[in-house]
């Protein structure tokens, strides 16, 4: 990313492979709609520049910066037990790269590389549910039917007795929500009095909707990141009388309740293990070649509302 709303593909020479490293040839990568489009538009607050660094980011915000953290590829060189294995890595979009062997996670049996681009979003969804701590039988509303919101709904719908409803302004999200085991409603028809509301639309209006759906003493969990945007909230309505809790969740830290026993690698391993379900392919709606990535970023940052997960495919 060379400046606000500008990107280009650049060649980079790789050094000789060091001991303990792997060389990975990318098969697919995924674009993180929320974070990457904010970075692309140059909207990372200066106060968050250090915390928002990706593990293998090159350059500094706002630009020029090589950014991204969803890469799936095959190990071409490195330790014998990894050579030839399909792996996931928190690496930017790049055809060939070298990282420490400890930075790649082999894909479990039954997880195709093309689906593994959902791993980072699924890891975020797992962390969100750990933060939210839903209970058996809860009425759960998920406001925002993007990739992250739908993955949260998919996980929550598997909790015994829980009634999960995805709330979104796009009627087309209804079909995929139902395929994932959740209900669907437009904001004006959404079920009130939720025990738990999880907000993932990335829009201030969505957060206002989430607060309006929460029942007495319910929690609203905020997953959206707004960058430099100010977010007005209707806290003068029922927020205090309803004794609501508004809480943030962010994947950079393992949720508090799990932190003593789980680390990032174990959490990522769990996310990868859950990607065996073919229904999740419904979330990968758009595909593009690697050489089309600058144009893809422009489209996604410009308000594209049809794309769920955007996958980037690399040449053989």
How does the average pLDDT of the chain come out, rounded?
97
Mapped onto helix, strand or coil, the DSSP state of residue 120 is helix
Asked if residue 232 lies in contact with residue 204, where contact means CB atoms within 8 angstroms, the answer is: yes
Nearest to 129 by CA among 219, 243, 226: 219
Distance, in Å, from the CA atom of 95 to the CA atom of 24, rounded to the nearest integer, reads: 8
State pLDDT tens for residues 225-255. 999 999 999 998 899 999 999 999 999 999 9
**Which pLDDT score, from 0 to 100, does residue 7 have?**
97
**Which pLDDT score, from 0 to 100, does residue 294 have?**
97
Mapped onto helix, strand or coil, the DSSP state of residue 49 is coil
Strands 309-313 and 284-289: parallel
End-to-end CA distance of the chain: 25
Distance, in Å, from the CA atom of 122 to the CA atom of 156, rounded to the nearest integer, reads: 12
Tokens of 316: 């053989």
CATH number, span 21-115+275-313: 3.90.180.10
Distance, in Å, from the CA atom of 2 to the CA atom of 266, rounded to the nearest integer, reads: 35
Asked if residue 201 lies in contact with residue 144, where contact means CB atoms within 8 angstroms, the answer is: yes
Q: pTM of the prediction? A: 0.96
Asked if residue 143 lies in contact with residue 150, where contact means CB atoms within 8 angstroms, the answer is: no
- The answer to whether domain 21-115+275-313 and domain 124-254 are alike in fold is no
Distance, in Å, from the CA atom of 290 to the CA atom of 296, rounded to the nearest integer, reads: 9
Virtual CA dihedral for 240, 243, 246, 247, nearest 10 degrees?
150
Tokens of 97: 């790269």
Residue 87: pLDDT over 90:
yes
DSSP 3: B
The ranges assigned to domains in the chain are 21-115+275-313, 124-254
State pLDDT tens for residues 88-141. 999 999 999 999 999 999 999 999 999 999 999 999 999 999 999 999 999 999
Beta strands in the chain (DSSP E): 21-31, 58-59, 65-66, 71-77, 86-89, 96-100, 104-106, 139-143, 163-167, 183-185, 194-199, 214-222, 245-248, 284-289, 309-313
Mapped onto helix, strand or coil, the DSSP state of residue 206 is helix
**Which pLDDT score, from 0 to 100, does residue 303 have?**
86
What number of helices (H) and strands (E) belong to the chain?
7, 15
Residue 218: pLDDT over 90:
yes
**Which pLDDT score, from 0 to 100, does residue 62 have?**
95
pLDDT band at 181 (very low <50, low <70, confident <90, very high): very high
**Which pLDDT score, from 0 to 100, does residue 235 have?**
93
Residue 309: pLDDT over 90:
yes
Is 307 exposed, middle or buried (CB count within 10 Å of its CB: 0-12, 13-18, 19+)? Answer: middle
**Which pLDDT score, from 0 to 100, does residue 237 have?**
87
**Which pLDDT score, from 0 to 100, does residue 316 have?**
82
Superfamily the domain 124-254 falls into: NAD(P)-binding Rossmann-like Domain (3.40.50.720)
State pLDDT tens for residues 256-306. 999 999 999 999 999 999 999 999 999 999 999 999 999 999 999 998 989
Cross-strand pairs, 166: 142, 184
pLDDT band at 209 (very low <50, low <70, confident <90, very high): very high
State pLDDT tens for residues 19-78. 999 999 999 999 998 899 999 999 999 999 999 999 999 999 999 999 999 999 999 999
Asked if residue 216 lies in contact with residue 197, where contact means CB atoms within 8 angstroms, the answer is: no
């Amino acid at each position: 990313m060379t400046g606000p709303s500008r990107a280009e593909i650049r060649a980079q020479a790789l050094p000789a492979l060091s001991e303990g490293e792997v060389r990975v040839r990318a098969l697919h990568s995924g674009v993180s709609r929320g974070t990457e489009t904010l970075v692309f538009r140059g909207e990372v607050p200066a106060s968050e520049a250090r915390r928002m660094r990706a593990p293998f980011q090159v350059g500094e915000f706002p630009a020029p910066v090589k950014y991204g953290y969803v890469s799936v590829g095959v190990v071409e060189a490195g330790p014998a037990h990894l050579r030839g294995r399909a792996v996931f890595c928190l690496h930017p979009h790049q055809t060939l790269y070298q990282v420490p062997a400890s930075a790649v996670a082999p894909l479990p049996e039954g997880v195709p590389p093309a689906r593994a681009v959902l791993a980072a979003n699924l890891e975020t969804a797992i962390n969100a549910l750990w933060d939210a701590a839903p209970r058996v039988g809860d009425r759960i509303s998920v406001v925002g039917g993007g990739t992250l919101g739908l993955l949260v709904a998919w996980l929550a719908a598997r909790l015994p007795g829980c009634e999960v409803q995805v709330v979104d302004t796009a009627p087309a999200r209804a079909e995929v929500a139902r395929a994932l085991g959740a209900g669907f409603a437009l904001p004006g028809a959404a079920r009130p009095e939720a025990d738990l509301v999880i907000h993932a639309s990335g829009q201030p209006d969505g957060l206002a909707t989430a607060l309006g759906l929460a029942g007495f003493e319910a929690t609203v969990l905020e997953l959206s990141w707004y960058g430099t945007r100010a977010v007005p909230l209707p806290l003068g309505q029922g927020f205090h009388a309803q004794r609501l809790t508004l809480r943030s969740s962010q994947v950079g830290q393992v949720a508090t309740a799990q932190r003593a026993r789980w680390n990032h690698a174990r959490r990522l391993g769990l996310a990868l293990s859950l990607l065996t379900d073919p229904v999740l392919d419904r979330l990968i709606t758009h595909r593009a070649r690697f050489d089309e990535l600058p144009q893809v970023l422009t489209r996604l940052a410009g308000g594209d509302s049809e794309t769920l997960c955007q996958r980037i495919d690399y040449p053989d």
